[in-house]
A and B are shown apart, each in its own frame.
Chain A
Amino acid sequence: MIELENVIKVFPDGTEAVKDLSLKVPRGEICVLIGPSGCGKTTSMKMINRLIPITSGKIYVNGQDIQTFNPQDLRRNIGYAIQQVGLFPHMTVRENIEVVPKLLGWSKQERLKRARELLDMVGMDPDTYLDRHPSELSGGQQQRIGVARCLGADPPNLLMDEPFGAIDPITREKLQDEFLRIQDEIQKTIIFVTHDIDEALKMGDRIALMSEGELIQYSTPPELLANPANDFVRDFVGADRALKELRLLRGEEVMNPTPPTVDANDSFQVAREKFEREDQQTGRLRRYMLVVEGDHFRGWVDRHDLDGQPEDGHVRDVIIKSAATAGPDMSMNQAMATVLSNAIGNLAITDEQNRLLGLLTFNSIRRVMAQSYTGEEAAEPTDDDTLETEEL
């Protein structure tokens, strides 16, 4: 947990970089500091690990006033990553990751174990990379090592100043996704500085929007989009607010979690009965249905394919393979793109083991898009979302 209380920073030259900043970051959450260049993000962050002394106010890390620590001890217990990455070029990947553990006096075995663990975590093979030097790594790999290094001694709190800054957009997206996946496991309390609103919306559990040293709005990403505090926030967030909201909506939140299904092992007769029951319940003629086998997603079945089949056959004989599926985290704009690029009407949502979690239909995607543009309350998915009458 990190807490700032009425923090003020005036530099010796008179610059008021931070004016009365109060901010509370709960344990395990990512707080994104964002705002135009020069608004005081970096200064605010560096006061937390005492790289910059505070002029007045209080900062608490895990409930303890930072002034009560010796600065070096404080910093060794707060992970720190910067935009320029700042890997030590004369050290190997391993030595870089081991910097803080070494400062803390960990044994050689503990340090090596941790370095391997962290390389695994950031998706780099320890045997290949431990003894490489930073100059032998790509930009994306260096950023990964930067992240691994700030996690070196497993500190509960992290400060990250544009950690994915100097990198191409594709690699950047990938690093963000990976980092969110890692954060899911490690649950650190993170202050994350960026000037990119898309990154902020994606990474932040909360966003602190600053301007000229002042905190303008501190809220969750959907709240920031839906209820901008003033025109500054509205302008900063941008005209495509609605589209950005879609990016925050995940498949899981929009899908129908209990779509009708048939089992691959059902006989044609059983399958036909299931179709008819659905028709009676919805009052419409359903053409396609999801095929599962136990929990697992197998594909689709077209009811016309059931006709004229030998009676001892099973649904699995006529399965139509699915062109695309989506994970529960897939955002609505990605889901839309997937639906359009595969020319399909529906998207099965599955987990990593290919278990069926729910169904996202073109209609439901279209509805949430319309809602985010008009700003009306999102409706619960209804039954007719699962009406498949268009081509798959």
Chain B
Amino acid sequence: MRRYIAFVVLLGLLLGVLVWVTSFVTEAQGLMNPLAWEEIYDLTIEHIQMVVVAEAIAIAIGVPLGILIALPQFRALSPPVLGFAGVGQSVPSLAVIAIMSPIFALLSLNSTGYWPVVVALIIYGLMPIIRNAFAGMSNVDPALIEAGRGMGMTQGQIIRQVQIPIAISVIVAGIRTSTTLNVGAATLGVLNGAGGLGEPILSGMATSTYLVTLQGGAAAAALAVIVDRLIGGVESWLTPKGLLVAQS
């Protein structure tokens, strides 16, 4: 595991260095119009912003929803909710983005640019979040819930003091999967004119300046790797100590 993490971090660094180096290559050296470092930086920020907004909303919807459908009184809702989220996930990300534009148009909203893409990313990213929150909460040993009830905890106290602390690492793992997926999926946002790191990828291909495509791709990959590690860190930081001992 540790070797795997080291490998992934190294890969991320290499990709980063690649992007950085390519930005210094000039036409004079016989290559074609690479993007300047500042341009890549701006696109990356744009990309991050898109993903962060989508994830924040996906988390705000997905985590409570996953927790809710794991409760005994709403358990009946879990098959339809998980089924709906599953559809969002199994449809290719490109199709989810593509379908948002006509839907926005139908609702007479601005059908190009940022928001249709963000909504698509929310739908695409919801599934791992809901699924993990649901699994984490419903996999808590029923004996613990029974013990809590028998000692006079209210349902809210059981959720907050027993179930969530035990399920937290699984919940965060869902957020991690979702975010990492969406860093990739957001590169397709350019097809609806949303900007981000998809832009150099697409324009590079359109104009056969493959170095630019490489820059965009490498930046997106580096971002995905970094995000994955970062949230992985949050995950182990949030996991209660007693559960870490249990796992070792």
Contact = CB atoms under 8 A, between A and B. Distances in A.
A136 B247 CA distance: 11
Interface string A197-236: 0000000000000000000000000000000000000000
Interface in A53-99: 71-77, 80, 82, 84-92, 99
Interface in A86-115: 86-92, 99-100, 103
Contacts of A172: none
A51 interface: yes
Given A51-B146, A86-B146, A88-B144, A76 B151 contact: yes
A36 B170 CA distance: 39
Contact of B152 (A46, A73, A84, A85): A73
A89 B157 CA distance: 16
Given A84-B143, A133-B241, A90 B165 contact: yes
Contacts of A80: 147, 150-151
A320 B148 CA distance: 58
Given A133-B245, A135-B242, A82 B146 contact: yes
B242 A90 contact: yes
B242 A51 contact: no
A295 B60 CA distance: 76
Contacts of A87: 147
B242 A103 contact: no
B83 interface: no
A136 B144 contact: no
A72 B153 contact: yes
B107 interface: no
A49 interface: yes
B149 A51 contact: yes
B91 to A, nearest CB: 37
B69 interface: no
A90 B150 contact: no
B5 interface: no
Interface residues of B, number: 22
A51 B240 contact: no
A133 B150 contact: no
A360 B240 CA distance: 56
B246 interface: yes
Contacts of B245: 133, 135-136
Q: Which of B150, B154, B243, B245 has the most CB of A within 10 A?
A: B150
A299 interface: no
B166 A90 contact: yes
A134 interface: yes
A84 B246 CA distance: 16
B166 A89 contact: yes
A89 B242 CA distance: 6
A80 B146 CA distance: 10
A103 B246 contact: no
A72 B154 contact: yes
Interface in B55-102: none
A303 B150 CA distance: 64
What 8 pairs across the A-B complex have the smallest Cβ distances?
Answer: A86-B147, A133-B242, A76-B152, A90-B240, A75-B152, A80-B150, A84-B143, A135-B246
17 contacts: A46-B150, A75-B152, A82-B143, A86-B141, A86-B144, A86-B147, A88-B147, A88-B148, A89-B240, A89-B242, A91-B240, A91-B242, A100-B152, A103-B157, A133-B241, A133-B246, A159-B150
